[in-house]
């Protein structure tokens, strides 16, 4: 079994570079299905399991995809006639596969995608995506584990109010509306930087979208879209994870490519906790306080620009080491506290009360064998391990590989005592880019 082994107590120092954002590249690759002519060239693509999965999804739909992992580039030619069915084997691995629905429906008037189902962080329905398609004239049929959307002729532009600013629904509707007849207005849309990145890519493809990044997005449908070149924005969650790694070890780390504008809410909480954060060059320098000087704080997760749910478990790890009582409230997903039990195995003093976790710090964290319950929980357990006494072993690394490129290797380069091992052959080896690629290819 693959494990990450962390021996805590080492300060992190040096420079680390952030990859392209997972949550930006997945919709961008899905959007490439809208191009009935020309090739798309996507750069700054992170080498992640989820990227291999979305590439497989669109290959299966008959798009041509070349992933040059060494150069972080994906070239997509979707000018062939495409299939319109995405089976469960892909959607099960990665919920973002549902993002092919908007493009297929808009281009072919038909999409049949396996129902994503719930996952470890919540039930995650797609009702808002479907309501949007219906408002544009699609008929929706749910049965036999699939959700099918059909329209006679083209989708028609519509005014769509989202009950909540769902990232995926905003993306799916924006992609569908790009090729619809007439104007679509999305109200109460998600404002995440990844939405802006997708809109920029769609506009490069010939779409006419304004207002992305605000709650009202206006899309004037066009008849055709073509391939385009696009580079993916840096991953704000990976950047935030390294910020916590520096803070929790009392280290001093320059995080290159971190976009401070995308990280305001995280930076503000780190500063409240007595962590120093300074913009430097094209990144951010994070300096953790001396041991015993981290201060407690309260955090509530919210849609952007509020505090991101994808940084909740990492900040929870930091709160464990802060003096005093911290309260962390999760409002985006109803069940994103599975990591609490794992932290408790590391001697964390905390309890769940409804949608909040009350943390009594500073806990004397002890190394333990812990299992990652989802992607960000995997990172958070590693972060806790950096500050724990003794050896922490983190298992269930398939979650980690979905969203972090070589996290163990990057932390080791900053001075952490960390390695990734495979128990079955007992060889202890550092994680290289090639190994990550190899491991993720077989997913
Ligand atoms: C690939 C990707 O970009 N994933 C991100 C995306 O997920 P994702 O796009 O799935 O997240 P959403 O913003 O859609 O979900 C937010 C909340 O809305 C609910 N909801 C969503 C859609 C819907 O039709 N009905 C409904 O009730 C969800 O169950 C959840 O409680 O945004 C989340 C919230 O920032 C992040 O944690 C994920 O990392
Ligand atoms: C929840 C996440 O991703 P996904 O929506 O792909 O599950 C995440 O990136 O933390």
Per-residue pLDDT tens over the stretch 80-108: 999 999 988 888 889 999 999 999 999 99
Residues 422, 371: Cα–Cα separation, whole Å: 15
Say which CATH topology domain 22-231 has.
UDP-n-acetylglucosamine1-carboxyvinyl-transferase; Chain (3.65.10)
- Give the pLDDT score at 428: 45
- Give the pLDDT score at 407: 98
- Give the pLDDT score at 437: 54
Among candidate residues 115, 119, 185, 413, the one labeled active-site is 119
* Interface ipTM: 0.99
pTM of the predicted model, to two decimals?
0.95
Protein residue with its CA nearest to atom 1 in ligand 2: 310
Protein residue with its CA nearest to atom 10 in ligand 2: 310
**Pocket-forming residues, ligand 2, beta carbon under 6 Å:** 23, 95-96, 121, 310, 375-376, 403
213-249 per-position pLDDT tens digit: 999 999 999 999 999 999 999 999 999 999 999 999 9
Residues 356, 313: Cα–Cα separation, whole Å: 12
- For ligand 2, what atom is nearest to the CA of residue 168? 5
Q: Quick check: CB of 122 below 6 Å from ligand 1? A: yes
- Check: CB of residue 28 under 8 Å from CB of residue 52: no
Strand-pair partners of 219:
184, 209
Residues 115, 119: Cα–Cα separation, whole Å: 12
Question: Is 95 part of any known ligand binding site?
Answer: yes
User: What are the start and end residues of each CATH 3.65.10.10 domain in the chain?
Assistant: 2-19+234-441, 22-231
129 CA to middle of ligand 2, Å? 17
Question: Is 23 part of any known ligand binding site?
Answer: yes
Residues 84, 106: Cα–Cα separation, whole Å: 11
- Over the chain (443 residues), the average pLDDT of each successive run of 10 is 96 98 98 98 97 96 98 98 93 92 98 86 92 98 94 97 98 98 98 98 98 98 98 98 98 98 98 98 96 96 98 98 98 95 97 97 96 97 98 97 97 98 63 49 39
240 CA to middle of ligand 2, Å? 15
Pick the closest to residue 150 from 190, 104, 185, 183 (CA basis): 104
Residues 33, 202: Cα–Cα separation, whole Å: 11
- Check: CB of residue 90 under 8 Å from CB of residue 99: no
Residues 288, 176: Cα–Cα separation, whole Å: 45
- For 344, the token pair is 């408790």
* Nearest ligand to residue 375 Cα: 2
Q: Quick check: CB of 309 below 6 Å from ligand 1? A: yes
Residues 254, 17: Cα–Cα separation, whole Å: 8
- Give the pLDDT score at 119: 78
- Give the pLDDT score at 425: 54
Question: Is 126 part of any known ligand binding site?
Answer: yes
Q: Which residues contact 341 (CB under 8 A, 6 or more apart)?
A: none
* Nearest ligand to residue 379 Cα: 2
Q: Quick check: CB of 124 below 6 Å from ligand 1? A: yes
How would you class 159 by CB atoms within 10 Å of its CB: exposed for 0-12, middle for 13-18, buried for 19 or more? exposed
Q: Quick check: CB of 163 below 6 Å from ligand 1? A: no
- Give the pLDDT score at 430: 45
Residues 367, 346: Cα–Cα separation, whole Å: 6
Residues 38, 77: Cα–Cα separation, whole Å: 7
* Nearest ligand to residue 240 Cα: 2
Protein residue with its CA nearest to atom 29 in ligand 1: 124
- For ligand 1, what atom is nearest to the CA of residue 192? 35
Residues 78, 32: Cα–Cα separation, whole Å: 7
- For ligand 2, what atom is nearest to the CA of residue 375? 10
Question: Is 254 part of any known ligand binding site?
Answer: no
Maximum Cα–Cα distance for the chain, whole Å?
Answer: 65
Protein residue with its CA nearest to atom 37 in ligand 1: 310
- Give the pLDDT score at 443: 32
322-331 per-position pLDDT tens digit: 999 999 999 9
- For ligand 1, what atom is nearest to the CA of residue 126? 24
- Give the pLDDT score at 374: 95
User: Active-site residue 119, yes or no?
Assistant: yes
116 CA to middle of ligand 2, Å? 13
CATH of segment(s) 2-19+234-441: 3.65.10.10
DSSP state of 39: E
């Amino acid at each position: 079994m693959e494990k990450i082994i962390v021996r805590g107590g080492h300060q992190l120092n040096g420079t680390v570079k952030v990859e392209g954002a997972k949550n930006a590249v997945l919709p961008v690759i899905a959007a490439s299905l809208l191009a009935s002519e020309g090739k798309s060239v996507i750069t700054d693509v992170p080498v992640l399991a989820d990227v291999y999965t979305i590439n497989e999804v669109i290959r299966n739909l008959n798009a041509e995809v070349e992933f040059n992992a060494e150069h972080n580039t994906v070239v997509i030619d979707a000018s062939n006639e495409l299939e319109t069915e995405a089976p469960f084997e892909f959607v099960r691995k990665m919920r973002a596969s549902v993002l092919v629905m908007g493009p297929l429906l808009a281009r072919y008037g038909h999409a049949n995608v396996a129902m994503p189902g719930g996952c470890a962080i919540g039930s995650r329905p797609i009702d808002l995506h479907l309501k949007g398609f219906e408002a544009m004239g699609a008929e929706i049929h749910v049965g036999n584990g699939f959700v099918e959307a059909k329209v006679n002729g083209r989708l028609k532009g519509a005014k769509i109010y989202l009950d909540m600013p769902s990232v995926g629904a905003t993306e799916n509707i924006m992609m569908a509306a790009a090729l619809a007849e007439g104007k679509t207005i999305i109200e109460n849309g998600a404002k995440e930087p990844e939405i802006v990145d997708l809109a920029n890519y769609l506009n490069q493809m010939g779409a006419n979208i304004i207002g992305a990044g605000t709650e009202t997005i206006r899309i004037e449908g066009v008849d055709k879209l073509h391939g385009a070149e696009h580079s993916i924005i840096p991953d704000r969650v990976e950047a935030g994870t390294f910020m916590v790694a520096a803070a929790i070890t009392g280290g001093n780390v320059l995080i290159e490519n971190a976009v401070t504008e995308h990280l305001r809410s995280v930076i503000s909480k780190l500063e409240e906790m007595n962590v120093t954060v300074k913009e430097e060059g094209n990144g951010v320098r994070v300096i953790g306080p001396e041991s015993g000087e981290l201060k407690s704080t309260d955090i509530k997760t919210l849609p952007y620009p509020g505090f991101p749910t994808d940084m909740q478990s990492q900040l929870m790890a930091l709160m464990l080491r802060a003096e005093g009582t911290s309260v962390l409230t999760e409002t985006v997903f109803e069940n994103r506290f599975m990591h609490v039990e794992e932290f408790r195995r590391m001697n964390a003093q905390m309890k769940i009360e409804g949608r909040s976790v009350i943390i009594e710090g500073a806990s004397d964290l002890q190394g333990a064998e812990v299992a990652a319950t989802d992607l960000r929980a995997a990172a958070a357990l590693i972060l806790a391990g950096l500050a724990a006494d003794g050896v922490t072993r983190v298992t269930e690394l398939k979650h980690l590989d979905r969203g972090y490129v070589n996290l163990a290797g990057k932390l080791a380069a900053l001075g952490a005592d960390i390695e990734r091992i495979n128990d079955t052959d007992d060889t202890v080896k550092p994680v290289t880019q090639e190994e990550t690629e190899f491991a993720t290819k077989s997913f």
